[in-house]
Amino acid sequence: MKTGIFICHCGHNIKHTVDVGRVREYFSAFPHVALCRDYPFVCSEPGQDMIRESIEKQGLDRVVIASCTPSLHDDLFKDLLRKSRLNPFLLRRVGIREHCSWVGDDLERNTEKAIRLIRAGLYSAAHYVPLEEKQVEVTKSALVLGGGVSGLSAALFLSKMGLQVYLVEKEATLGGHVRSLRDIWPMKRDGEALIEEMEGELRARGTVEIFTSTTLSAFEGSFGNYRATLATPSGGRGVVAGGVIVAIGFTPFDARVKGELNYGRDERIMTTIDFERGAERLSLPDKPRVAILHCVGSRDEQVGRPYCSRICCINALRVGEAVKERYKDSYVECFYMDVRAHPRGGEEFFEETQEKGVLFTRGNIAEIVPGAKGLLLRGEDTLLGEVFEREFDLAVLSIGMGPATDARSLSSLLKITLDKDSFFLEAHVKLRPYDTAVKGIFIAGTCAGPKDTEEAISHGRASAVKLFGFLSPGYAMVDPFIAVVDGKRCSGCRMCERACVAKAIRYDEAKRIAQVEEAACMGCGLCNSTCPSSSIVLRGYVDRAIDDEIGALVEAI
Amino acid sequence: MDEKGAHSLEIIGFACSYCTFKASEMAGSLRMKYPDEVKLIQVPCSSRVDPAFVVKSIFEGADAVFVAGCHPGDCHFIKGNYFTRRKIAALKEMFDTFSMKDKLRLFWVSAAEARRFVEKVTNFCDEIKEAKNAGKRA
Amino acid sequence: MQAKELKDGALERALNLFLGSEGNLVLGFEKGDDGVRHRIFKGGLDRFSLFNPFFDVNGALYLRRLFSKNARIMLMLRPCEIRAYTELAKLSQIEREGITAVSVDCFGAVSSRDGIADLPTDAEGLRTYFAEPERMRAPCRACRERRGVVGDGGIRIDRNGVLRAFAYTEKGETFLSLLEGEAEESLPEMLLSEGPRPEPFQTDMEAFAKDFSPCVMCKNCRDQCPVCYCVDCLFNGDEYLPKGDALLNKILRTGSAAMPQGKEMFHLIRMFHVSQTCVGCGSCEEACPHQIPLTKYFKGVSERLQAKFSYMSGRDFEETIPYLTFLEDELKDAED
C-alpha cells in the first residue's frame, strides 16, 4: 500500500498554530507512506497539480489530505482523484483547521493533535476500498422558500430554465419587505410596482405553483429527491424537489430594545421603515429640525448585534434627502459612526446629500428625551470630543437587519447551519457563497446576511443559477456509503431488519440471511452497530476503520 | 492500558456528520476554543456508534468518551438517535456497574449549536481533568 | 389459562402418547446411574426424569439452528432453558412452529463439576435437599424465575406437593389435551413464587481485572452460552487477541512491551451483546476451566440492563428486545 499525505498550510490559517514541518517529518518515516508533503493551499490549481503529479509519479493508491474540514471542497478533491485515475473513495480528508488550528492556541499541543488526527486518517484509509458511486435520477423541480424579492428572482430564473417551481410564502401576499418600499435606491422604483411586475411574470408561467399562507412542516430526502411537506391553508401537501432555495428574508431590528431612545413612546421618534411608509402624513413645522441616527441595532455589542447591516447608511441618506426635498429650510443632522455608502454611486450620493445641506456629526446618541417643545437628544461628538444636547422635532432611527424569525427552526428542519448572528451560513465565503453545506440546498437574499434590494435580487438569481447547474444533467451521483451483508457470516437473526429505520433490509427465507435494498438504504449504520457479529457493514465506515482510528488517536507519539 | 506521554489526557468523541460534526465545524470557523484533548471521530449517524467502540476506546487508553448526535426527533436519518439513546443509556448503566459512569457521556447538539458543543466538551474535559488530578492527589 | 392435576404416571402416559406418532420427539431428562442428563426421547420414554438437579449445559443450546418445519418436539425443561429457547426463537435461531415448550418448576441444581452423583429426583426430595441454599450452585441461588411459567405450558407443584400441568398458549392447550382428566376451575396456591429482585450488582474495574486474570480466552463461556448465537463471532478473528503477523503489526505500532490482552474487552463487549438475552443459567461459569465467577458479572449486568427497560429475557415471545425499539419520550436522564 502506498499512501500519500498532503498537509495544507491554508495560508497561515493552519500554519500559524500547527508546525506543519514537524508533522511532515513525523509521517515521512512511516511505513506504507510513500510521500508526505506540505503546501500553502492544496485547493489551489498548483496545489492540485502537485497532488496529481505525486499520485501519478509515486503510484499512490491512498491519498490523505489534511486541510480544512472534510465537507469543504469535497467534489474538488474527489474529481482530482478521478483525474488521476484513482477511485475517489480512496481519499481520506482530515480536518486540521476547524478541528485543530482554529480551536487551539498552543503550537506544540496543536501540532500533536494534528499528528494524531492525521494518523487516525492514515490508519482508517488503509481499510478503504474502491467504491462505485450510485447514479440516481434527479427531479427537475425546485422548492423556493420565501416569496420576497430574492425568492421571486430565483423562482423566475428557474422557471425560465424549464424547472417546475414551488414557491412557498408564509404571509398571505408575496413581496416581503420590498413591497412597502416607495423609492428603492438607486433604481428609483416603487417597491409595490416592482413586486407586482415580478409576481405577474411568475404567475403567467405554467410550471410555477405559488403557495401563500404556507409553511414547511416536514423535510426529508437527499439531493435530487427532497420530499417536503407543506402546511397550506387547505391541509398538508407533499412536493418532491430536486433542490431548495432558502430566501426567507430578515427581521427589522426592534428599536424598542434600545429603551433609552424611547421608540414607541412618542410619535416623533420613528424608524426608517415608519418614515418610508408614513412620510406624507408627517406634520412638521415649516423649518423642522430632524435628527437621523445611523447604526441603530447594528455594530452594537450591547444589543447582541456586532455586525454592520449594510443598508442603513444609505437609508439614512435617503431620509435626509427626502426631508430636504420637502422642507427647504429644514435643519437635518445625521449622527454616524462611519458613513458606509458602499454600493456603486453611494459615495456620490453621500456628497450630494451634504451639498443639499444635511449635516453630519460623528457621534452616538445616548438618549432621546421627549419634551413638550421637542425631542432632546444627548450624545457625544467624538471628533470634537464634546458632549452635546440638542433639540429636534423629529428623530429617525436607521435600524438594522436581523435574521428571519424562522431561521432557527428552518435550519433544524433542513439541517443547514446558522452563523453566530443566526444568518444562514454559506459553505465557503469566497468559493461557494450561495451553497450551504448540504448538497442541493442554497441560500439567497437577506436571510444569508444584510443586503439591499438589488443585491437580494442578484443573489436570488445567482443561487438559482447554481441550483440549475446541479440539476440540469438530470442525474446525480450519490455516495455509495450504504450497508452490505456478508452472507457467510450472517446468522439470520433479523435484528438489523427490525431496527432499520428506512425499512431497507429484508430477510431471504431460503438463504436465511438478511439482504439490503440498496436504493432504500440511507447509510446511517444503525444495522452495523446492532449486529453483534457485524455481519452487516456500512461501507466506508467499517468496524476496522473506526477501531484503527481509535487506536491512532490514543497511541503514544 | 498502554503507556502515554506525561500530559496526555485523551477524550474521544463520536460526532454525527449532520449535527454535532457540523456544530464542531462552526465552532472552528468561529474560532471558538476548546481543550485540545478532545478528538472527534466522524460517523454518519450517532446510531453507527457500536458500544464496542466505546469499550475499545477506554481500553486503548482514552480517559473518557462521548457520543453526540442530533436532538431526538431531529435526526437526519429520522430515527437513528432514538436507538443511540437506548444503547448508550444501557452502556452507561453497564459503566455504572463497573463504577466508571463518569467516563461516558451522551450529548445532543444540533448543527447550529456551536456554542453548546464547545460548552459540553469543555465541561466534560474539565471534569475528567479534575477527577484525574484528584485521583493523583489521593 | 387452563390446568390439569397430574395423577401418578399421567405425564409419562401423555408423553408416550405423543411419542407414539411417527417423528415426534421429546427433549427432556433421563435418569442415569451417575446422575441426570439431557436426552431426546423417540418412540417412547425410558428412564424419564421430570427434574434435573444437575446443571452441565443449557438444553436450549441443542436446538440452535434447528430450522426444519417438520420437527415436532416437546420440550420438558427447566425455566432458564425455556427462556433461552424463547429468546432464540425471537432471534429466528430456532423454528418455533413444531415445538411445544413446557417449563417445569425448578428447585435449583448442583454443578456437574461437583462430583455429586446421588441426588433425589422427586419434587419432595429436591425441595428438602435444596432447602439449604448453599447446596445449590451460585447461578441457581441468584435465580429469580424458578417457576414453570414460561413457554407454551408448565408443570408446577402446589403446597401439597401435587403436580399440575398448565397451558399458557394454544400449543399448551394441545399438550394439555394429551393428559387424562378435566381442566380445573379453581387452583390452589403454588409452592414456588417469584424470586426476590437481587441488589443491583456493583463492582469496579479492579475487582473485574482480578476475577478475570486467570482467563485464557478459551471462549468456552461463549461457546456454551445458549444465547450467544453468532455464526461467526467478532472475537474469532485477530482483532482482539492478535497472533502472528497481526500481533507483530500491533506491537510495532504501539510499542507496547506487554502482550496485548483482549480478554477484558472480550468479556465486556460480550456482556453488552447478551445483556438483553441473558437468562442467568450459568452455563458460562460451568464451562470455564478456571471457574471464574462469570454469572456474577454477566447476570449482574444483564439484570441491571434489562431492568432499565422493564424487560425480562424469555418471559414473553411477543416482547421486543429493547435495542430494537424505542419510545419517543423516554430516558431523559440518559442525556448529559
Q: What average pLDDT does this structure show over C113-134?
A: 90
State the alpha helices, DSSP H only, in B45-79.
Answer: 51-60
**Rounded Cα gap, residues A316 and A324, in angstroms:** 12
Residue C186 φ then ψ, to 5°? -115, 150
pLDDT more than 70, % of chain A: 99
Q: Which pLDDT tens digit goes with each residue over C145-164?
A: 999 999 999 999 999 999 99
**Rounded Cα gap, residues A494 and A509, in angstroms:** 11
**Rounded Cα gap, residues A15 and A94, in angstroms:** 15
**Residue A315 contacts by C-beta under 8 Å, 6 or more apart in sequence?**
A272, A398
Highest-pLDDT range among A273-282, C190-199, C316-325? C316-325
Q: Which pLDDT tens digit goes with each residue over A479-509?
A: 799 999 999 999 999 999 999 988 889 999 9
Confidence of residue C257 (pLDDT cuts 50, 70, 90): low
The secondary structure of chain A in percent helix, strand, coil, rounded to multiples of 5, reads 35, 30, 40
Q: What average pLDDT does this structure show over C206-231?
A: 95
Mean pLDDT over the full length of chain B = 90
Q: Is B94 on the interface with C (CB under 8 A)?
A: yes
Q: What average pLDDT does this structure show over C271-294?
A: 96
Q: Is C321 on the interface with A (CB under 8 A)?
A: yes
Q: Say if residue C258's pLDDT is above 90.
A: no
Residue A479: per-residue pLDDT: 76
**Rounded Cα gap, residues B128 and B103, in angstroms:** 8
Residue A183: per-residue pLDDT: 84
Q: Are C277 and C87 in contact (CB under 8 A)?
A: yes
Q: Say if residue C333's pLDDT is above 70.
A: yes
Selecting from A100, A417, A525 the residue whose C-beta is nearest the C-beta of B45 gives: A525
Domains and CATH numbers, chain A: 3-132+545-554 (3.40.50), 141-249+404-476 (3.50.50.60), 252-402 (3.50.50.60), 482-538 (3.30.70.20)
C-alpha cell recorded at residue C30: 433421563
- What is the identity of the amino acid at A441? I
Tally Cβ neighbours within 10 Å of residue C119: 18
Q: What residues does A360 pair with on adjacent strands?
A: A334
Residue A251: per-residue pLDDT: 96
- Of A420 and A199, the structure prediction assigns the larger pLDDT to A199
Chain C residues within 8 angstroms (CB to CB) of chain B? 200-205, 208, 234, 254, 256, 264-265, 268-269, 271-272, 275, 300-301, 304-305, 308-309, 322-323, 326-328, 330-331, 334-336
Q: How far is CA C13 from CA A30, C27, C99, C115, C184, in A?
A: 76, 16, 19, 33, 19
Q: Say if residue C195's pLDDT is above 70.
A: yes
Confidence of residue B4 (pLDDT cuts 50, 70, 90): very low
CB within 8 Å: C254 and A492: no
Q: Is the peptide bond before A233 cis (omega within 30 degrees of 0)?
A: no
Return the residue of C nearest to A535 by Cα: C232
CB within 8 Å: B86 and C326: yes
CB within 8 Å: B2 and C256: yes
In chain C, where the domains are located: 2-177, 205-324
Return the residue of C nearest to B59 by Cα: C265
Q: Which of residues 17-76 of B touch A (CB under 8 A)?
A: 18-19, 22, 24-34, 36, 39-45, 47-53, 56-57, 60-62, 74, 76
pLDDT more than 90, % of chain B: 73
C-alpha cell recorded at residue C335: 442525556
Q: What is the maximal distance between C-alpha atoms in chain A?
A: 95
Highest-pLDDT range among A179-183, A219-223, A470-474, C309-313? C309-313
- What is the identity of the amino acid at C32? G
**Residue C102 contacts by C-beta under 8 Å, 6 or more apart in sequence?**
C74, C75, C76, C77, C82, C148, C151, C152, C153, C154, C155, C165, C172, C175
C-alpha cell recorded at residue A355: 451639498
Residue A54 φ then ψ, to 5°? -60, -40
Q: Say if residue B2's pLDDT is above 60.
A: no
Give the rounded distance of the alpha carbon of A507 from its chain centre.
Answer: 42
Q: Say if residue A279's pLDDT is above 80.
A: no
Q: Say if residue A56's pLDDT is above 80.
A: yes
**Rounded Cα gap, residues A94 and C314, in angstroms:** 46
Confidence of residue C186 (pLDDT cuts 50, 70, 90): confident
Contacts of B109 in chain C (CB under 8 A): none
CB pairs under 8 A between A and B: 153
Q: Are C245 and C221 in contact (CB under 8 A)?
A: no
Secondary structure (DSSP) of A138-154: ---EEEEE--SHHHHHH
DSSP-derived pairing of the beta strands A331-336 and A359-370: parallel
Q: Say if residue A348's pLDDT is above 60.
A: yes
Give the up-direction half-sphere exposure of residue C170: CA atoms within 13 A in the CB hemisphere. Answer: 2
Mean pLDDT over the full length of chain A = 92
Confidence of residue B3 (pLDDT cuts 50, 70, 90): very low
Q: Which pLDDT tens digit goes with each residue over C60-115?
A: 999 999 999 888 999 999 999 999 999 999 999 999 999 999 999 999 999 988 88
Q: Is A499 on the interface with B (CB under 8 A)?
A: yes
Residue A221: per-residue pLDDT: 82
Residue B1: per-residue pLDDT: 36
Q: Which pLDDT tens digit goes with each residue over B36-94?
A: 999 999 999 999 999 999 999 999 889 999 999 998 877 878 789 999 999 999 999 99
List the single best residue of C65, C230, C273 to mutate versus A (max A Cβ within 10 A).
Answer: C230
Residue B133: per-residue pLDDT: 87
Q: Which pLDDT tens digit goes with each residue over A60-98?
A: 999 999 999 998 888 899 999 999 999 999 999 999 999
Q: Which of residues 181-240 of A touch B (CB under 8 A)?
A: 220
Highest-pLDDT range among A217-221, C15-19, C193-197? C15-19
Q: Which pLDDT tens digit goes with each residue over A126-183?
A: 999 999 988 888 999 999 999 999 999 999 999 999 999 999 999 999 999 999 898 8
pTM of the shown model: 0.78
Mean pLDDT over the full length of chain C = 92
Q: Are A174 and A195 in contact (CB under 8 A)?
A: yes
Domains and CATH numbers, chain B: 11-125 (3.40.50.960)
CB within 8 Å: C91 and A532: no
Return the residue of C nearest to A490 by Cα: C231
CB within 8 Å: C272 and B55: yes
Q: What average pLDDT does this structure show over C236-261?
A: 75
Residue C289: per-residue pLDDT: 96
Q: What residues does A8 pair with on adjacent strands?
A: A39
Q: Are C270 and B55 in contact (CB under 8 A)?
A: no
Residue with cell 425455556: C82
Contacts of A551 in chain C (CB under 8 A): 253-254
User: What ipTM, to 2 d.p.?
Assistant: 0.94
Q: Say if residue A44's pLDDT is above 90.
A: yes
Q: Which of residues 165-204 of C touch A (CB under 8 A)?
A: none
Confidence of residue C256 (pLDDT cuts 50, 70, 90): low
Residue B5: per-residue pLDDT: 44
Q: What average pLDDT does this structure show over C237-248?
A: 78
Q: Which pLDDT tens digit goes with each residue over A379-395?
A: 999 888 999 999 999 99
Residue A557: per-residue pLDDT: 78
Give the rounded distance of the alpha carbon of B28 from its chain centre.
Answer: 17
CB within 8 Å: C232 and A533: yes
Q: Are C191 and C226 in contact (CB under 8 A)?
A: no
CB within 8 Å: A529 and B48: yes
Contacts of A432 in chain B (CB under 8 A): none
- Of C255 and A541, the structure prediction assigns the larger pLDDT to A541
Q: Are A39 and A14 in contact (CB under 8 A)?
A: no
Residue C237: per-residue pLDDT: 79
Q: Which pLDDT tens digit goes with each residue over A513-527?
A: 999 988 778 899 999
